[in-house]
A and B are shown apart, each in its own frame.
Chain A
């Protein structure tokens, strides 16, 4: 049926009070300021010097052996993390989605925890346990097994990959679980009837059908890992292992934030962006996916595969995995936060609450919590409205250039946070007459650019669900364009807007990558504060603040779940 087109928008556009045009213009202007200017500044500064085209900086950085090593490390870590994380994600998704393993509900919930857990806190915990020189677990193993050297060294490429896999495999896991849930089970049953064995069905039917979900999740792991700062910086520094994001940070840090350092950072950023772009192309090439429609309207109960004898060992494996990646790091951080001095054995007499008192009396801790709350809430609220505005313009007004609008708003999503920070520094440190450097506003601007696409995506999906006849019905009832927008469309997508807010607020609260390059003396964020406490060797204090941060995140998450559960099915 031809009900999808409508002249109404075009016809409204001709009227005197033209809200659509105003909204479209606002979108273009804001996106230009927030996204285009920083990206332009990076490219400009990497390739132009004093107004002239100059490749020497870029080629200099490209041929620097340290940078090349960093690039090589970045690629190795990302590749291994992606492959291992994808295998792990698919395996557990299948185990929890399609087998008769017990306690599925609980396990499903637990397997989502690593997704909320800030990876750099995980890295901190594992560093405490398996540090090549002083790890608690290492020392314990040496003393009990009488080994001559430390058995594990987390401060290695392998260690970094291990920690990243632990926290990134849920990207694939969640995608695949939901694809398996929506898959029509008769597709599998058909294959069985046709004579295929269980094993053949898994390889020939189930896996190919969920391939789009797998590849979407794998892509997310790949780009996140390439751009990731926290884990390699915590685990790699001590051993001189650099990745491009940590290298950019150290270049800027070592030059004390001078313009020269920032320019080098910009050149390195271009390198990182090229690597990410190559990875995207590679991924598309390796996992070129068909787009199957495996979604069925009615939810059907899939036939579960009986694990029989393997049930208990597999359950044990799943539980052990959870213990290893969730419980152990969590417990470790909490325990260390109570220790009198780092390195003391974990005995009751060595425990104290003094670290909490110390960290809260320390310079900047309370400020950092305040800063993080302010920046996250403000970024969340602004992006919620701006993202919805962009989504509305793209989905409903469809002006000329809507494709550009869409691409520009999604761009920061695939640009590493470190790169974005450099762009923001270059743009808002006076080069254009506005100086935000060392203020909380520069962090806010960076957060907005980084997270805008989150709220735009959720609002877009919600707007697509709002059938055009709902707005049309309001128009026939006498409501003007503005009234139908305010009374019908906005209330209908409000739940999506709220969830868009939390999608921004929660990651922003524990953010390190972007703010580590942007913070000033009074504008540390929570993540930065934990990071710098640890960097300064005050590990128990860092652990204490981390415990508080985790508590905060869990509490906020619970509130979100409660709020979203209460809502009536709209």
Chain B
């Protein structure tokens, strides 16, 4: 499949009054193929929204170039900039951005009117767009009389009515309640299947991104951290940040000594783990709370006890001391331990990461202030 959206060395710098220069987007390179659903995922201030707005044409680049459907739309080197109205995109905004002074029909018809399409074509295409977004019958209604979900459907209808090749979705579901979010997610996928457009989906909700995307880009502090399929991102996160950001995580700081691995704070009892060859003296072992084996005290593993038991709706969570740290373990309800009971934990094929330095943490919190 052909690459439809290509970013080459895209960089965006801002100057703020209080914090000085900020590199919001630092040398982004990526390509999205035709018909793909691609998510930008990351905490606030990571550069995902800025990147989307550069693709849409609301922001200029500081460096690099953007190619849409084989045509360069922004390029610093060629001093080229195509304004948003000439990029032929569909876009849905977080705050819906439906025009309150126009009824549903007029909102959806607006892009066609701008194209000076004749009336019968407009009527036909608006009717079709409204049908696909289950808004038929509400043509004359004003947005203020509709619910949040319906308003977002208007925004969707307005975006698909011109039949664009690329659809930009800027956190379109974050203003909706959880049940509705799931429905809308499904509807967006359904629309994509029918019309075959490429989706760029910006979100900070990892579950949402996982459910909808073919591939995702995780970014942090203005840098791309990892681009991969949802499955690979979850199973093989390239660093501690990605591991923590996708799904639940448990981290244990460990010391590696003479080929043996000890939990920090307890060097009497080794963990039954083999450190990778490249491991430093201090490492972080990462795993998912539901992948830790919790067994009775007689069995093989790290001997400890249950500190606290928390009953969650679909599973039970135990807090278990490992060395000087407390580890979160989740099991099905049938594995029942009491608080204070002795037990054994064993880490199964965990990921190994270097200890993150304090400077990176500081930079992250600084950027989130912006």
Contacts and interface: CB of A to CB of B under 8 A. Distances in A.
Interface of A: 1-3, 5-8, 10-12, 14-15, 467, 469-470, 472-481, 483, 487-488, 491-492, 568-570
A474 B110 contact: yes
6 contacts: A6-B58, A7-B59, A473-B91, A475-B85, A476-B168, A477-B162
B89 interface: yes
A479 B59 contact: no
B73 to A, nearest CB: 12
A2 to B, nearest CB: 7
Interface pairs A-B: 3 shortest CB-CB: A477-B111, A469-B97, A473-B97
Nearest to B79: A14
Given A3-B49, A480-B85, A570 B93 contact: no
A467 B93 CA distance: 11
A7 B93 CA distance: 17
Interface residues of B, number: 42
B49 A477 contact: no
Contacts of A473: 91, 93, 97-99, 155, 158
Given A467-B97, A472-B84, A476-B89, 5 more contacts: A6-B53, A8-B84, A470-B99, A478-B114, A478-B162
B159 to A, nearest CB: 8
Given A2-B50, A8-B84, A473-B158, A479 B142 contact: no
B98 to A, nearest CB: 8
A569 B115 contact: no
B114 A483 contact: yes
Given A15-B83, A469-B95, A476 B56 contact: yes
Contacts of B100: 492, 570
A487 B370 CA distance: 33
A49 B34 CA distance: 77
Given A476-B89, A487-B110, A2 B370 contact: yes
B51 to A, nearest CB: 12
Contacts of B45: 2
A476 B110 contact: no
Contact of B110 (A6, A12, A477, A481): A477
Contacts of A469: 93-95, 97
Given A477-B114, A479-B110, A472 B44 contact: no
B71 to A, nearest CB: 16
Contacts of A475: 57-58, 83-85
A31 to B, nearest CB: 27
A14 B87 CA distance: 18
A478 B85 contact: yes
A483 B111 CA distance: 11
Interface of B: 14, 24, 44-45, 49-50, 53, 56-60, 81, 83-91, 93-95, 97-101, 110-111, 114-115, 142, 144, 155, 158-159, 162, 168, 370
A356 B86 CA distance: 66
Nearest to A477: B111
A478 B142 contact: no
Contacts of A15: 83
B264 to A, nearest CB: 38
Contacts of A8: 57-59, 83-84
Contacts of A488: 99
A10 B83 CA distance: 11
Contact of B101 (A12, A474, A483, A492): A492
Contacts of B83: 8, 11-12, 15, 475, 480-481
Contacts of B110: 474, 477, 479, 487
Given A473-B97, A477-B111, A569-B144, A5 B14 contact: yes
A1 B115 contact: no
B148 to A, nearest CB: 15
Contacts of B44: 1
A487 B106 CA distance: 11
Contacts of A6: 53, 58-59
Contacts of A476: 56, 84-85, 87, 89-91, 159, 168
A15 B58 CA distance: 14
Given A7-B58, A479-B110, A568 B142 contact: yes
Contacts of B370: 2
Contacts of A470: 97, 99
Nearest to B54: A7
A324 to B, nearest CB: 44
Residue from the set A10, A469, A476, A479 with the largest chain B CB neighbour count within 10 Å = A476
A481 B83 CA distance: 9
Nearest to B110: A477
Nearest to A3: B49
Residue from the set A6, A475, A479, A481 with the largest chain B CB neighbour count within 10 Å = A475
Contacts of B49: 1-3
Nearest to A491: B101
Nearest to A569: B144
B114 A492 contact: no
B95 A479 contact: no
A176 to B, nearest CB: 30
Contacts of B99: 470, 473-474, 488, 492
Contacts of B14: 5
A10 B81 CA distance: 12
A492 B100 CA distance: 8
A570 B144 CA distance: 8
Given A2-B49, A12-B83, A469-B93, A479 B58 contact: no
A462 to B, nearest CB: 12
Nearest to A6: B58
B222 to A, nearest CB: 12
B85 A477 contact: yes
B54 to A, nearest CB: 9
B111 A478 contact: yes
A467 B158 CA distance: 18
A477 B114 CA distance: 8
Contacts of A5: 14, 59
A420 to B, nearest CB: 36
Nearest to B108: A477
A11 B90 contact: no
A472 B56 CA distance: 9
A521 B259 CA distance: 107
A467 B95 contact: yes
Contacts of B114: 477-479, 483
A129 to B, nearest CB: 50
Given A1-B49, A569-B144, A472 B85 contact: no
Contacts of A10: 60
Contacts of A11: 57, 60, 81, 83
B45 to A, nearest CB: 7
Contacts of B144: 568-570
B217 to A, nearest CB: 18
Residue from the set A6, A8, A469, A477 with the largest chain B CB neighbour count within 10 Å = A477
A307 to B, nearest CB: 39
A8 B111 CA distance: 19
Nearest to A480: B85
Given A2-B45, A12-B83, A472 B93 contact: yes
A8 B90 CA distance: 17
A88 to B, nearest CB: 39
A11 B100 CA distance: 27
Nearest to B115: A478
Contacts of A487: 110
A546 B317 CA distance: 82
Residue from the set B56, B83, B155 with the largest chain A CB neighbour count within 10 Å = B83
Contacts of A7: 58-60
A136 B98 CA distance: 63
Contacts of B24: 2
Nearest to B101: A491
Contacts of A491: 101
Residue from the set A467, A473, A480, A488 with the largest chain B CB neighbour count within 10 Å = A473
Contacts of A3: 49, 94
A488 B50 CA distance: 24
A174 B269 CA distance: 75
